[in-house]
A and B are shown apart, each in its own frame.
Chain A
Amino acid sequence: MSVRDYIRERFMPHIWCPGCGHGIVMNNLIRAVDHLQLRKRDIVMVSGIGCSARISGYLDFHTLHTLHGRALAFATGVKMARPELKILVPMGDGDATAIGGNHFIHAARRNIDLTAVIMNNRTYGMTGGQYSPLSGPGNTATTAPFGNIDQAFDIVDLARSAGASFVARTTTYHVTSMIKILEKAIMHKGFSVVEILSQCPTYFGRKNRLGNAVDMMTLYKNNTTPIGSAAKRENPDLLERGIFVQEERPEYCAEYEKIIKQAMGAQ
């Protein structure tokens, strides 16, 4: 099918600013689903609140647009009820790691089969550019006029240590590898996390003088490197991208099916 077949054109135009990275992520999510030949009726998209969360409404899946930070909690209920469905959870960095931080680490700990796609633009875009847990110290935001003093999370480290069995990072510049990573994440049996660096030229870019969308994507190209590359050894400041964790571990819903068998047999 074409990308268009997955979009609810009735609900266009979308809300994103010119140059926003989220459209690239939406496009690649569609391509990943299409490559995998998944049926639209087998896919549930659960999102929270924010620019990233609006992806769910635009796509012709079963779509659940929930509360700020709570997408994974709603998704857990849907997945427990219907384990055969594929559940994709697009989130923003504030959505996933600030207000939704507790749900994020516990979904990872349970290793429940959900695919969390975290679009990290390092800011709260929908509310006008406040600092997020991913903004990083020294940057400015509409709530950090004197410079941000908050240290940043590393989403990959956070997901790995919380127990996610699939953890990857990519950027909106690296579209071909993003599609492949998303395909693997969607097919992974367990909690998978894909962090995607996604530019917000309107707020984070403008506030921190990073130029336009193309300039910001060029930064993704120049400041990142594949995991374990020679470039990383020469320049430790480069941010690694690729798949960091991909392991088979007991999946929550499958384990619960065993509980049901045991409980029903014990009667």
Chain B
Amino acid sequence: MSQKIQFLQGNAVCVEAALYAGLDFFAGYPITPSTEIAELLSLKLPQKGGKFIQMEDEIASMCAIIGASLTGLKSMTATSGPGFSLKQEAIGYAIMAEIPCVIVNVQRGGPSTGLPTSPSQGDVMQARWGTHGDHAIITLTASNHQDVFAMTVEAFNLAETYRTPVILLFDEVVGHMREKVVIPEFGDIPLVERLWTSVREGTDFHPYLPREDGRLPMSDFGGIHRYNVTGLIHDMWGFPSNSPQVAHGLMRHLVDKIDNRVHEICRYKEFFLDDAECVLISYGSAARSALHVVENRRARGELIGLLELQTIWPFPAELVRARCASARFVLVVELNMGQVLQEVKKAVEDPGKVFLANKIDGTFITPTDIRNILRLIQGKGV
């Protein structure tokens, strides 16, 4: 078997993976540092009979992919911080109406227009709580191009499995860096296709009646079943309801279908954790520097390891608690003011042993930066 090896930008890898996963429809709006995704898909989607549209704004592109996904097409949009803010209203709609779709956020420095061409991981909490109201969300990250490919395919698979929007939280370093990637053969990574209803034409179809396993089979909008879709609290027909029982049942369903399945959704990598007294926790591009430090220090016999989170939401609290149980201290490495740090502190037995190594000035965190923090924690001075 000949492997297809390429040397690509992270954004281009995301495009290859989305097409691998079966992407049919993309709507977007130009924004740095994600624009290459739109540019490449405007070329590649029509080549396979798919559709690309550049909408009038970020809001519209999020709405358009929801409309297209309802008809049965695998759909995606891509943006960065300011655009991600604008999309939140419609992300909430996709959560409420349970419409599978993928949103790529190639993070840049913020808030507001911020640092458009600089790296940051400041949107972790916005991915979690950006849209209003109680809800659950799936968010994935990647630190290298092979994982960008794997997580992008995973995002489409999880979106279909749980009938939910999935956020790919990349960052400027991963998006714009070029490195080697092996494009898998078709079939190497399993793809999850939409779960279609077996209800026949002419029979009453309930778009919001979950099966025993919690999954909701779909019927392509515009096809053989006619039903209503709304962002209001709705009953099993998809019709608006003010009933407290209906509201309670739907809210529990929307949250439980994701938050009760952390073990199924959780993707992570671990390096040298078995006997680690010092546990680094990181994700995205920052995990590259963290891994560099861990590998160097291991070579010198230090008991140090790395837990790289690929699923950030739902937060894998049990995993973090277990891996940090015998650690003397835990260092969270991220390009923000401690957004994952707070989750780690909540997860571990002793929050006092959790420290932060970060950068918030638009520059990348280097192994030296992490080493300096480690020396402080270990009482060795700078």
Q: What residues of chain A have their CB less than 8 Å away from a CB belonging to chain B?
A: 8, 10-11, 40-41, 44, 46, 56-57, 60-67, 70, 73-82, 85, 102-103, 106, 256, 259-260, 262-264, 266-267
Which of B63, B89, B221 is packed against the most chain A CB atoms within 10 Å?
B63
Chain A residues with CB under 8 A of B222: 44, 62, 78, 82, 85
Q: Are B227 and A77 closer than 8 Å at their CB atoms?
A: no
Is B70 on the interface with A (CB-CB < 8 A)?
yes
A-B pairs with beta carbons under 8 Å apart, 15 shown: A40-B226, A57-B230, A62-B227, A63-B226, A64-B229, A67-B93, A75-B67, A77-B27, A77-B67, A78-B68, A78-B221, A80-B64, A81-B24, A85-B222, A102-B56
Task: Find A46's partner among B60, B67, B68 (CB 8 Å cutoff).
Answer: B67
Size band of the B side of the interface?
35 or more
Given contacts A70-B60, A260-B49, A65 and B226 within 8 Å (CB-CB): no
Q: Are B66 and A74 closer than 8 Å at their CB atoms?
A: yes
Task: Find A57's partner among B47, B56, B61, B228 (CB 8 Å cutoff).
Answer: B228
Chain B residues with CB under 8 A of A74: 63-64, 66-67
Q: Are A64 and B59 closer than 8 Å at their CB atoms?
A: no
Task: Find A64's partner among B70, B90, B224, B232 (CB 8 Å cutoff).
Answer: B70
Given contacts A62-B222, A66-B93, A260-B49, A76 and B60 within 8 Å (CB-CB): yes
Q: Are B240 and A57 closer than 8 Å at their CB atoms?
A: yes
Chain B residues with CB under 8 A of A61: 226
- A74 and B222 CA atoms in complex are apart in Å by 13
A-B pair number, CB within 8 angstroms: 129
Chain B residues with CB under 8 A of A262: 46
Which of A8, A11, A64 is packed against the most chain B CB atoms within 10 Å?
A64
Is B55 on the interface with A (CB-CB < 8 A)?
yes
Q: Are A65 and B230 closer than 8 Å at their CB atoms?
A: yes
Given contacts A77-B67, A78-B68, A66 and B231 within 8 Å (CB-CB): yes
Task: Find B59's partner among A10, A44, A73 (CB 8 Å cutoff).
Answer: A73
> CB-CB contacts of B21-55 with A at 8 A, as 1s and 0s?
00011010000000000000001001111010101
Chain A residues with CB under 8 A of B227: 62-63
Chain A residues with CB under 8 A of B56: 73, 102-103, 106
B residues 197-253 in Cβ contact with A at 8 Å: 221-224, 226-232, 237, 239-240
Chain B residues with CB under 8 A of A75: 67
**Distance (Å) between the CB of A69 and the closest chain B CB?**
9
Q: Are A67 and B53 closer than 8 Å at their CB atoms?
A: no
Q: Are B226 and A62 closer than 8 Å at their CB atoms?
A: yes
Q: Are A65 and B47 closer than 8 Å at their CB atoms?
A: no
- A167 and B338 CA atoms in complex are apart in Å by 54
Is B363 on the interface with A (CB-CB < 8 A)?
no
- A74 and B240 CA atoms in complex are apart in Å by 19
Is B126 on the interface with A (CB-CB < 8 A)?
no
- A40 and B25 CA atoms in complex are apart in Å by 26
**Distance (Å) between the CB of B64 and the closest chain A CB?**
3
Which of B48, B73, B89, B230 is packed against the most chain A CB atoms within 10 Å?
B230
Q: Are A70 and B51 closer than 8 Å at their CB atoms?
A: no
- A73 and B64 CA atoms in complex are apart in Å by 5
- A74 and B25 CA atoms in complex are apart in Å by 13
Chain A residues with CB under 8 A of B224: 41
B220 and chain A: residue at smallest CB distance? A82
Task: Find B67's partner among A57, A76, A266 (CB 8 Å cutoff).
Answer: A76
Given contacts A57-B239, A82-B71, A67 and B25 within 8 Å (CB-CB): no
